[in-house]
Amino acid sequence: MHPTKEQGVPEEWYFDAEVWRRHLVDEVLQHWLARAVDPQHGGYVCEFDREWNPVGPGLKTLVSQSRLIYNFCVGFHRTGRPEFREAAERGVTFLVERFADRVHGGWIWQCRRDGSVDDDAKVTYGHAFVIFALAEYARTFDRPDAADTARQTVDDLQRHMQDGAVWGFWTRSTRDWQPETQRRSQNPHMHLLEALLNLYRATEDTHILGLAEGICRFARDRFVHPEHGCLEEMFATDWSRLADNQAAPIEVGHQFEWAWLLNRAADLGADPSFRELAGRLLAWGVQCGWDGQRGGVFNQCDRHGRPLQTDKTYWVQSEALRAMLYASRRGGQLDSRVLKTTADFVWHHCADHEHGGWFATVDRRGSPVNSDKGGLWKLDYHVVSLCDEAIRLLEDDGAG
């Protein structure tokens, strides 16, 4: 299936809300709905090959369960179909029964398929996704109890994982909240920002929006390299910058992800000056990551913008396309060729129109490198977020 008029898909398909809706429901969410819910143990299984055959031992992480709760909430919001509600409810029930730590508070990281504890660490990244999912559940189904649990999770992170000396959060701790003090990572902060914005949408609690603004300021002051302009991944324990030979590769997708989040924060009432940083990160991602020859976006660069990994992973393409589409509809500085070539590369090479879902990774030319449809990290939450935002921008006229 290609975006041609003859097959009923317009050439500029990415400006058609109905194309996005059909892709979201029929080609992505329907497959997860049919296969992810675990009827024996509860919660979700998440590892599938290209044809959606289950693989792996069925481990269940905090992030996999939370991302699928979010997916099914979006499915209900966009269709009203009760089976999406039921799937989301089953996920929340399993999350609360198996992952909530009733001794020390917070949430453990990983269970086996039957729900027995496999890894009882506390992971900031995972907690961010609990907040994100419960906020979406609260907003979709009018469940203030879920919003209250999300607020409590925010409190737990601030109490136990925030480093008062430098404001940022530790990445991981023991079950009883003793932090591991290795190198710092920006990534949990990005997803905590995403979660707080979702919780603010569900509650209109200005305290939550203030915490989100704090993360935006921290990102502006700490994460962005003052010389090269890119948003970096890893830092020393005191948040100082690492030398070139120690620095992690620059994740191109995170430039776009932060750009969109900063703009959404401003949309929701945060400091409008964050849009300037969003524009700079979008521009860096396009300049250094966009494949002007074939379309799509490379996975990784170094600080100087030199490509290091030219494969194209599903989440990178999703985040790039979402930020580009936002810029195109909200007056951002973006060459229309960048959006078109990226959107067409995604449609022709990343989306699997034969079996549904997206390939995990394709090479620079668009041939599948990893054709799996699910894994402990790949739950198509990035794809669902992209589709939902596209519908919001194109059909809902930016509301919400």
Q: Is 48 helix (H, G, I), strand (E, B) or coil?
A: strand
**7-12 average pLDDT score:** 76
| Burial bucket for residue 92 (CB in 10 Å: 0-12, 13-18, 19+) | buried
Which one, of 290, 294, 300, lies nearest residue 252 by Cα?
300
98 pLDDT tier (thresholds 50, 70, 90): very high
Residues facing 370 on adjacent strands: 361
- pLDDT > 70 fraction of the chain, expressed in percent and rounded: 97
8 A C-beta contact, residue 387 and residue 358: no
**Maximum separation of any 2 CA atoms in the chain, in Å:** 61
DSSP notation for 118-165? EE--EEHHHHHHHHHHHHHHHHHHT-HHHHHHHHHHHHHHHHHTB-TT
pLDDT at 6: 36
Each residue of 296-332: pLDDT tens digit? 999 999 999 999 999 999 999 999 999 999 999 998 8
Each residue of 75-92: pLDDT tens digit? 999 999 999 999 999 999
223 pLDDT tier (thresholds 50, 70, 90): very high
Residue 2 has pLDDT above 70, yes or no: no
Say which DSSP state 354 is in: T
Say which DSSP state 377 is in: S
Amino acid letter, residue 147: A
Level-2 CATH architecture, domain 23-394: Alpha/alpha barrel (1.50)
Which strand (E) or helix (H) includes residue 368?
Answer: strand 368-370
Q: pTM for the complete prediction?
A: 0.96
Each residue of 354-383: pLDDT tens digit? 999 999 999 999 999 999 999 999 999 999
Q: Where are the domains of the chain?
A: 23-394
Helix axes 124-141, 62-79, angle to 10 degrees: 20
Amino acid letter, residue 267: D
Say which DSSP state 24 is in: I
Average per-residue pLDDT in the chain?
95
- pLDDT > 90 fraction of the chain, expressed in percent and rounded: 93
pLDDT at 181: 82
Residue 7 has pLDDT above 70, yes or no: no
pLDDT at 400: 52
pLDDT at 8: 62
Q: Provide CB contacts within 8 A for 178, sequence distance 6+.
A: none
Residues facing 351 on adjacent strands: 358
**What six digits make up the tokens of 309?**
């990994």
Each residue of 271-287: pLDDT tens digit? 999 999 999 999 999 99
Q: Report CA dihedral (167, 173, 179, 185) to the nearest 10 degrees.
A: -50
pLDDT at 3: 46
Which one, of 26, 59, 127, 27, lies nearest residue 358 by Cα?
27
The alpha carbon of residue 359 and the mean position of all alpha carbons in its chain are separated, in whole angstroms, by: 16
**What six digits make up the tokens of 174?**
């023991």
Sign of CA dihedral 75, 79, 82, 83: negative
